[in-house]
Amino acid sequence: MTTARFPDGFLWGGATAANQVEGAYDRGGKGLSIQDVMPHGIAGAPTEEPTPDNLKLTGIDFYHRYAEDIALFAEMGFTVFRFSIAWSRIFPNGDEETPNEEGLAFYDRVLDELEKHGIEPLVTISHYETPLHLATAYDGWRSRELIGFYERYCRTLFERYGTRVRYWLTFNEINSILHAPLLSGGIRTPPEQLAEQDLYQAIHHELVASATVTKLAHALMPQAKVGCMIIAIPTYPLTPDPADVLAALDADHANLAFGDVHCRGAYPGYFLRTLREKGVELEITDADREVLRNTVDFVSFSYYMSVCETADPARRAAGRGNIMGGVPNPTLPASEWGWQIDPTGLRIILNQYWDRWQKPLFIVENGLGATDRLVEVDGRTTVVDDYRIAYLNDHLRAAAEAIEDGVELLGYTSWGCIDLVSASTAQMSKRYGFIYVDRHDDGSGTLARYRKKSFDWYRELIAANGATLS
Ligand code: BGP
């Protein structure tokens, strides 16, 4: 096997989100976010107020332990760290005129720490954590007013951190709103009561908001690079029947539409057809059309799995997937949580996106959620996570192949570089990290951190700029 080659300056690191790590949900003037009333992840209904069984309220206490955690990332050699800013720390209700200074100061401290270790920040502006008030009072992104609130929030971030942060992502996994309107769009109306007209109008508002702040970022921070962030989910036809190939294309289009708007600045024809067929008439102003032309500088995405599609309703057995689901692929193994493992799909999606958009790409989430067991090895408390090493190795090998294919790839941040609370199930036991955190589903644990075997593996890999991949 040839040695994997990554370009000089390739960014290596890991990714987290505020609501899954910070805890301190009511400290430092923070307001409530939708996550604070979602104790069961995306499956369960939201509660009226925070409940003690919600692990995200305390997370892994990154709010107090960020310096220790960033030092561990530095020990692995990270050159980039992706994290999100909790909107409700900066604007507790979301619709205030002035920001909360204590919230801003917290991220100053995080950035200080990253700077100290020479780690480039990659900031997600909105990662499934809309301020709760915007959800309850406005029904989230259904309301056009959210565009203005989001713009004010972004202006605050750009003015405060603009000289320190180069890479910005506007909305985490923006296409997930199709399947998880509350998580992704802060929409309190239950999905079964949500009219498609309102769902697609919310999508339009988010896309306009993203383009609006991309324009603002470019005006305020000439050196800034603004990216979109989408769930990458290659869709294969279940059989070679052309009807299945077409079904796969349709399913792919539903996700590609977001990237098309972000990268091309207008709605593609197939998307307009979908709207016509659904009887949806979007309210799009001339100003909206104009601002949408502000396209992103790069495309970032999460990649966990591929899915299959078929036109045959009898075979459309629902698969289990990360927000998106799909028909299971009979050729692939799956994780303990039923997510199908497909490294080749990563190479396919990298090529598809590059061919389609010709924008630099950034893998900002990828990893294996698994049950880990702490053991003693040579006097060190650790996890022998060979399964995680194999998963990451195979996906990075696929990324290296895509680079050989000519794809421009900026970097790789593995998801949940430190164990954190799962987004879909709100469990602690679904672990992704190189660093084990002693916390359990029942809330018990010391929160102590332990280096897993994958910690050493990743450190060596980064030091060799990927050349140690097998
Ligand atoms: C993505 C989210 C993340 C993250 C990841 C893993 O959809 O952007 O926030 O959690 O999936 O999912 P889970 O935590 O459900 O295993």
pLDDT band at 410 (very low <50, low <70, confident <90, very high): very high
- Report pLDDT for 36: 98
pLDDT recorded at residue 396: 98
Active-site residues: which are they?
Answer: 173, 365
Q: Tens of pLDDT along 434-444?
A: 999 999 999 99
User: Is residue 424 in contact with ligand 1, taking CB distance under 6 Å?
Assistant: yes
Q: Phi first, then psi: what are they for 354, rounded to 5°?
A: -65, -45
pLDDT of 314 reads 83
| 55 pocket-lining for ligand 1 (C-beta < 6 Å) | no
Tens of pLDDT along 68-104?
999 999 999 999 999 999 999 999 999 999 999 999 9
Q: Is the CB of 173 under 6 A from ligand 1?
A: yes
pLDDT tens for residues 240-276? 999 999 999 999 999 999 999 999 999 999 999 999 9
Does the pLDDT of residue 318 top 70, yes or no?
Answer: no
- Determine the distance separating the centroid of ligand 1 and the alpha carbon of 420, expressed in angstroms: 10
Mean pLDDT of the chain: 96
The residue whose CA has the least distance to atom 10 of ligand 1 is 423
**Closest Cα to atom 15 of ligand 1:** 424
Rounded Cα distance between 261 and 125, Å, is: 19
C-alpha 73/C-alpha 423 separation (Å) is: 22
The answer to whether 31 and 17 have CB atoms below 8 angstroms apart is no
Quick: pLDDT tens for 328-363: 899 999 999 999 999 999 999 999 999 999 999 999
Q: How many CB atoms lie within 10 A of CB 146?
A: 24
For the stretch 163-172, pLDDT in tens is: 999 999 999 9
Q: Where are the domains of the chain?
A: 11-463
Distance in Å, CA 231 to ligand 1 centroid:
10
Contact 30, 24 (CB under 8 A): yes
Report which DSSP code applies to 293: T
Q: What is the pLDDT, as a whole number, of residue 398?
A: 98
Strands 380-382 and 375-377, by their bridges, are antiparallel
Residue 423 Cβ inside 6 Å of ligand 1? The answer reads yes
CATH fold of 11-463 reads TIM Barrel (3.20.20)
Q: What is the DSSP letter of 445?
A: S
pLDDT at 44: 80
